[in-house]
Amino acid sequence: MQFNLRKNTKLKGVQILALGFLAVILIGGIILTLPISSASGETTNFLDALFTATSAVCVTGLITLDTGTHWSMFGQTIIMLLIEIGGLGFMSFTTLIAIVLGKKITLRDRLILQDAMNTFNIQGLVKMVKYVIVFTVTVQLSGALLFSTQFIPQFGVAKGLFYSVFHSISAFCNAGFDLFGNFSSLTGYSSNWVVLLVVSALIIIGGIGFTVWIEIYNFKSIKRLSLHSKIVILVTTVLLVCGTILMFIFEHNNPNTMANMNIGDKVVNSFFAAVTPRTAGFNSISTAGMTNAGNFLTIILMFIGGSPGSTAGGIKTTTMGVLIVTVICVIRGRDDAEAFKKRFPKELVYKAFTLFFIGGVLIIGSTMLLSYTEKGASFLSVLYETTSAFGTVGITLGLTQQLTEVGKVLIMIMMYLGRVGPLTVVLSLMRNKNNNGVRYPEGKILIG
pLDDT in the model for residue 14: 58
Indicate whether 424 pLDDT > 90.
no
Higher pLDDT, 375 or 98: 375
pLDDT in the model for residue 9: 46
pLDDT in the model for residue 429: 47
pLDDT in the model for residue 6: 42
Quote the pTM value.
Answer: 0.85
Higher pLDDT, 379 or 95: 379
Indicate whether 191 pLDDT > 50.
yes
Candidates 231, 226, 233; CA nearest to 208 is: 233
pLDDT in the model for residue 218: 74
pLDDT in tens, 117-163: 555 555 556 666 777 788 888 999 999 999 999 999 999 999 999 99
Model confidence at 333, pLDDT cuts 50, 70, 90, reads: confident
- Using an 8 Å Cβ cutoff, are 314 and 306 in contact? yes
pLDDT in the model for residue 90: 47
Output phi, psi for 219, to 5 deg: -60, 130
- Using an 8 Å Cβ cutoff, are 414 and 389 in contact? yes
The mean pLDDT value for 10-23 works out to 67
**What percent of the chain shows pLDDT beyond 70?**
81
Model confidence at 261, pLDDT cuts 50, 70, 90, reads: very high
Which H, E and C letters describe 195-247, residue by residue? Answer: HHHHHHHHHHHHHHCHHHHHHHHCCCCHHHCCHHHHHHHHHHHHHHHHHHHHH
**What percent of the chain shows pLDDT beyond 90?**
44
Which H, E and C letters describe 107-170, residue by residue? Answer: HHHHHHHHHHHCCCCCCCHHHHHHHHHHHHHHHHHHHHHHHHHHHHHHHCHHHHHHHHHHHHHH
Candidates 262, 245, 258, 312; CA nearest to 286 is: 258
The mean pLDDT value for 271-283 works out to 89
Q: Which residue type is seen at 66?
A: D
The mean pLDDT value for 235-259 works out to 93
Output phi, psi for 121, to 5 deg: -145, 175
By CB neighbour count within 10 A (0-12 exposed, 13-18 middle, 19+ buried), where does 199 fall?
buried
pLDDT in the model for residue 394: 85
Model confidence at 115, pLDDT cuts 50, 70, 90, reads: low
pLDDT in the model for residue 183: 87
Mean residue pLDDT across the chain: 83
Separation between Cα atoms, residue 275 and residue 211, nearest integer Å: 20
Least confident of 9-23, 29-43, 165-179, 394-408: 9-23
Least confident of 309-323, 372-386, 397-411: 309-323
Separation between Cα atoms, residue 240 and residue 270, nearest integer Å: 10
pLDDT in tens, 193-216: 999 999 999 999 888 877 787 777
- Using an 8 Å Cβ cutoff, are 97 and 126 in contact? no
Higher pLDDT, 228 or 437: 228
> Residue 180 carries which DSSP code?
S
Indicate whether 364 pLDDT > 90.
yes
pLDDT in tens, 46-83: 999 999 999 998 888 889 999 989 999 999 999 999 99
pLDDT in the model for residue 365: 93
- Using an 8 Å Cβ cutoff, are 44 and 32 in contact? yes
